[in-house]
Structure 1
Amino acid sequence: MADTLFIGIDGGGTHCRARIRDGGGRLVGEGTGGPANLRLGPAVAMAAIVDAARAAAKAGGLDEGELGRASVGLGMAGAIDDARNGALLAQPHPFPRVAIDTDAYIAWLGAFAGSDGAILIIGTGSAGLAVVQGQRFNVGGWGNVISDDASGNEIGRHAIRRALWAHDGMAPMTRLAQQILDRFDHEPPKAVTWADQARPTDFAQLAPLVLDYAGQGDAMGVAVIEHAAEGAARIADRLLAAGAPGICLLGGLGEPLRPWLPRRIQEKLVKPKGDAMEGALLLAREARPLMQRAVP
Structure 2
Amino acid sequence: MITHLLAIDGGGTKTALRLTALNSLATNPAFILTVGPSSLTQQKEQAHHQIREAIETCLAQVKLTPQQVFIVIGVAGAGNVNAKQALERSLLSYPNCLVTTDAHISLLGVNQGQAVNCLAIGTGSVATRLETDGSTHMYGGWGFPIGDQGGGAWLGQQAVQALIEAIEQQTTSPLTDYLSQHLGSQRGDILQWLTTANASRFAQLVPALMDHAHQGCPVSHEIVRRGQNHIDELVTKCCENNELDIAFLGSLGAYYQQHISDEWCSRLITSIGDALDGATLLARQQVEIRNG
Q: In the alignment, is residue 238 of structure 1 matched against residue 237 of structure 2?
A: yes
Q: In 1, distance between residues paired with 2:151 and 2:191?
A: 21
Unaligned runs of 5+ in 2: 288-292
Pick one of 47, 50, 56 that aligns with 1:48. 50
After superposing the two structures, state which structure 1 stretch, 218-227 or 234-243, moved more.
234-243
Question: Does the 8 A contact of 1:32 with 1:51 survive in 2?
Answer: no
**CA offsets, 1:225-260, max 9 Å, x none?**
001111111111111124252221111112233333
Which secondary structure does the structure 2 equivalent of 1:72 belong to? strand
Q: Specify the alignment match of 1:23 in structure 2.
A: 22
Deviates most, 95-104 or 250-259: 250-259
Q: Is the 8 A contact 2:42 2:198 kept in 1?
A: no
Alignment-derived partner of residue 12 in structure 1 = 11
CA drift of 1:93 comes to 5.5
> What residue in structure 2 maps to residue 99 of structure 1?
98
Instruction: Tell me the number of residue pairs that the alignment of Structure 1 and Structure 2 aligns.
Output: 283
Partner of 2:138: 138
Equivalence for 2:164: 164
CA displacement, residues 258-283 of structure 1 (integer Å, 9 cap, x when unaligned): 33333334443211111111110122
**Partners in 1 of 2:285 and 2:258 — Cα distance?**
38
1:38–1:77 Cα contact (<8 Å) kept: yes
1:43 Cα deviation from its structure 2 partner: 3.4
Query: In structure 2, what is the equivalent of residue 218 of structure 1?
Result: 217
1:287 shift after superposition: 4.3
* TM-score, normalised by the number of residues in structure 2: 0.89
Percent of residue pairs bearing the same amino acid type: 26
Q: Check if 1:37 corresponds to 2:39.
A: yes
1:128 alignment partner AA: A
Match of 2:87 in 1: 88
Structure 1 stretches of at least 4 aligned residues deviating more than 6 Å after TM superposition: none
- Identify if the C-alpha distance between structure 1 residues 253 and 92 changes in structure 2 by more than 3 Å, giving closer, same or farther: same
Cα distance in 2, alignment partners of residues 145 and 167 from structure 1: 23
Q: TM-score, normalised by structure 1?
A: 0.88
**Which shifted more, 102-111 or 31-40?**
31-40
Answer yes or no: is the 8 Å Cα contact 2:37–2:200 preserved in 1.
Answer: no
Map of 1:152 onto structure 2: 152
Paired AA for residue 45 in structure 2:
A
Secondary structure at the aligned position of 1:222 is classed as helix
AA partner of residue 33 (structure 1): V
- Given residue 35 of structure 1, which amino acid in structure 2 is its aligned partner? P
Matched residue SS, 2:247: strand
For residues 43 and 186 of structure 1, what CA distance do their matches in structure 2 show?
33
Q: Give the aligned partner of residue 290 of structure 2.
A: none
Unaligned stretches of 5+ residues in structure 1: 289-296
- Residues 175/117 of structure 1: CA separation in 2 closer, same or farther (3 Å cut): same
